[in-house]
Amino acid sequence: MGMRRVRARFVVIAAAAGIVLGSGALAAQGGSDAAQQIRSLMSRGEIPGLSIATIEAGAVAWHGAFGIKHAESGEPVTEQTVFEAASLSKPMFAYAVLRLVDRGEWSLDEPLWNTLEYDRLAHDERAKVITTRMVLSHMTGLPNWGGTPLELVRDPDTRWGYSGEGFGFLQRAIEAKTGIALNDLMRREVFEPLGLTQSSYVWTEAYDDESATGHGLIGAVVPKRTPREGHAAATLHTTALDYARFLAAALTGEGLTPTLYQEMLEPQSQKWNDDAPVAQLYWGLGWGLQQTARGTAIWHWGDNGVFRAYVIGYPAEDAGLVYFTNSENGLAIAEDLVAIFFRDTHYAIRDLDYARWDDPVRLAQIAMQRAFRDEGIEAGLRSYHAFAAQHPDTVVGRLVGSLVGYLTGTRQFDAAVAVLTAQGERDPHPLVWVSLGEVHAGMGDYERALESYRQAIAMDSTQGERLAPRMEWLRVGLRSAPVTLSLDEMRACEGAYGARHIALRDGGLVYWRDGSTSETRMIPLGRGLFALESTKTFRMRIEFDEAGRATKITGLYSDGRTDESPRSN
């Protein structure tokens, strides 16, 4: 089993605060000069924390920890600081799956349906052909994330399409066959064999003190999610040093047979954007593949919003790099940071298309957010109009969407309405009215939301079908009024529904999800139908069986989406 190379040499970067270890070649290459460059990039990119480690001959040679874990506490990042790995969860899970395949305990090409008849896909016969190989190479035809039922966006095995849902399906199938929960499987296949002592796909008590906290574009602290249920695609928490040890194993093929190791590194699919393949970018088994004059590199990125990360490795050189950050700005410095260690054409980073730290649109986003936050609506609008006058073709799409998202996320609803109204005056477009409808819905002003949607349809009749579920959701809200439930009726709703929970508190029901930082009071609108005190854009329906026992929660979203959570206790 094993090592493909006698000599191993790797680099790892993640979010942290100012430590240097060892004296190897890459440590010498990095050292104080690299540390200075990293600090400069962090400052320009407005990133609170970042960390770096290099590995030579299988051992950590250099590790630096920079910045802070939490903007309000000022506590420094150290080499023990834990970060959300986001989608860097996927390559590590893929590695565990390949170990099962190597031992003959799992198949790359047998349909997952033969093991698990996945209820979210039971309505679509096409799902019955999805295999592990398709999941690991993103050829399932599934969306990145979806509701229940889960709708395929294309036939499986026809074209690349990034999908976290595929990894969820594979996870459930493996758990069903092995009887082992995800985190226990990862402990057996990855954490313990590789000595990863601070890694977990579910929250641990130790993380209460060791975890970094995420920060928004202008540095606002975002409450930390604490997942109680693991997801193979997104919930890994780990340190730079732990991920370095995993990267070393992936680059050398440690723990895999030579045949499967080589298959992991071979293109299984080609990356696509919109309707065209992307040159130089492919996907192996769990890893993206970048082909340049320097050679083939494995790569992946992670984005959980306020935790962003990137990893790259060159198997032929026995070298690689990964970084985690606790900031929405984390990928703005990706290319410049990677270039400190690896001179190359980084097609993968460019294809991800995150705004660079010096991009004028990104800088405008920051300036506008600060103006609204610090000086109010009038100052914010002045900032918006000034930029629009200088860059009339730029103040569209992502910039306005990002600004409105920030304003609604910080509950500055009046400011969001003002921005969209100004945008509509500049560039009348039905999607501006759709966005206004969403903002009004978030404010709880369902009448104005309906009127905004009607305006969008009047401008473009094709919007009618898409907006129909949203409009019906609003009409149900307008027709509904709070009711009083008996104690027995409330007790019948109590329980755990997967990651969702309902409990009786002080004569009423409260709701929370795993990872939530607080509970919210439920407002009964009828037997089984509830609104939530904390949001105007979500309701839930609790389904009951013939005996009156609650069986599942159906989430009802204002944008027409639904999802289901079966009762689990």
Position 1 confidence tier, pLDDT thresholds 50, 70, 90: very low
pLDDT at 515: 72
Choosing from 175, 194, 217, the residue where a domain stops is: 175
Q: How many domains does the chain have?
A: 4
| Three-state secondary structure call for residue 160 | coil
Q: Are residues 450 and 422 in the same domain?
A: yes
pLDDT at 396: 64
Please enumerate in sequence order all residues whose Cβ is within 8 A of that of 548, keeping only pairs 6 or more positions apart, or say none. 492
pLDDT at 3: 40
Choosing from 175, 203, 219, the residue where a domain stops is: 175
Q: Are residues 205 and 324 in the same domain?
A: yes
Position 140 confidence tier, pLDDT thresholds 50, 70, 90: very high
Please provide residue 180's backbone torsions phi and psi, each rounded to the nearest 5 degrees.
-115, 130
Please enumerate in sequence order all residues whose Cβ is within 8 A of that of 469, keeping only pairs 6 or more positions apart, or say none. 559, 560
Please enumerate in sequence order all residues whose Cβ is within 8 A of that of 65, keeping only pairs 6 or more positions apart, or say none. 16, 17, 18, 19, 51, 76, 77, 78, 79, 81
The angle that helices 430-443 and 413-426 make with each other, rounded to 10 degrees, is 170
pLDDT at 390: 82
**Average pLDDT along the chain:** 91
Total Cβ atoms within 10 A of residue 517: 9
User: In terms of C-beta density within 10 A (0-12 exposed, 13-18 middle, 19 or more buried), how is residue 7 classed?
Assistant: exposed
Q: Are residues 32 and 55 in the same domain?
A: yes
Q: Are residues 321 and 207 in the same domain?
A: yes
Position 274 confidence tier, pLDDT thresholds 50, 70, 90: confident
Q: Are residues 42 and 141 in the same domain?
A: no
For residue 279, tell me if it sits in a domain. Answer: no
Which whole number is the average pLDDT over 413-434?
94
User: In terms of C-beta density within 10 A (0-12 exposed, 13-18 middle, 19 or more buried), how is residue 242 classed?
Assistant: buried
Q: Are residues 141 and 200 in the same domain?
A: no
Q: What is the dihedral of CA 324, 325, 329, 333, to 10 degrees?
A: -50
Position 402 confidence tier, pLDDT thresholds 50, 70, 90: confident
> How are strands ordered across the β-sheet holding 535-544?
495-497, 500-505, 508-513, 520-526, 529-532, 535-544, 550-557, 562-566
Q: Are residues 187 and 259 in the same domain?
A: yes
Q: How far apart are CA 535 and CA 409, in angstroms?
A: 11
For residue 529, tell me if it sits in a domain. Answer: yes
More confident residue, 264 or 16: 264
> What is the identity of the amino acid at 303?
D
Q: How confident is the model over 12-25, as pLDDT tens digits? A: 544 444 444 443 44
Q: How far apart are CA 81 and CA 206, in angstroms?
A: 11
Q: 323 and 52 in contact (C-beta within 8 Å)?
A: yes
Q: Are residues 347 and 365 in the same domain?
A: no
E strand or H helix at 506: none
The neighbouring-strand residues paired with 522 are: 532
Confidence check: pLDDT of 557 > 70: yes
Check which CATH number belongs to the domain holding 51 and give it: 3.40.710.10
For residue 335, tell me if it sits in a domain. Answer: yes
Q: How far apart are CA 1 and CA 255, in angstroms?
A: 6
Q: Are residues 552 and 495 in the same domain?
A: yes
Choosing from 459, 479, 499, the residue where a domain stops is: 479
Which whole number is the average pLDDT over 499-514?
93
Cα-atom radius of gyration of the chain, to the nearest Å?
A: 25
Instruction: Identify which of 519, 528, 545 has the alpha carbon closest to the alpha carbon of residue 493.
Output: 528
More confident residue, 10 or 350: 350
Q: Are residues 320 and 374 in the same domain?
A: no
pLDDT at 208: 95
Q: Which residue range is the domain that position 378 belongs to?
A: 360-479
Which whole number is the average pLDDT over 31-53?
91
Please provide residue 96's backbone torsions phi and psi, each rounded to the nearest 5 degrees.
-65, -40
pLDDT at 4: 42
For residue 98, tell me if it sits in a domain. Answer: no
For residue 99, tell me if it sits in a domain. Answer: no
Confidence check: pLDDT of 10 > 70: no
pLDDT at 568: 86
For residue 255, tell me if it sits in a domain. Answer: yes
Which whole number is the average pLDDT over 239-248?
92
Q: Are residues 252 and 208 in the same domain?
A: yes
For residue 278, tell me if it sits in a domain. Answer: no
The tokens of 464 are what? Answer: 């009618």
Which whole number is the average pLDDT over 162-178?
97
Q: 387 and 364 in contact (C-beta within 8 Å)?
A: yes
Position 413 confidence tier, pLDDT thresholds 50, 70, 90: very high
pLDDT at 351: 97
Q: How far apart are CA 107 and CA 120, in angstroms?
A: 22
Query: How far does Cα 262 stand from its chain's mean position?
Result: 29
Q: Are residues 139 and 255 in the same domain?
A: no
For residue 245, tell me if it sits in a domain. Answer: yes
Q: 558 and 565 in contact (C-beta within 8 Å)?
A: no
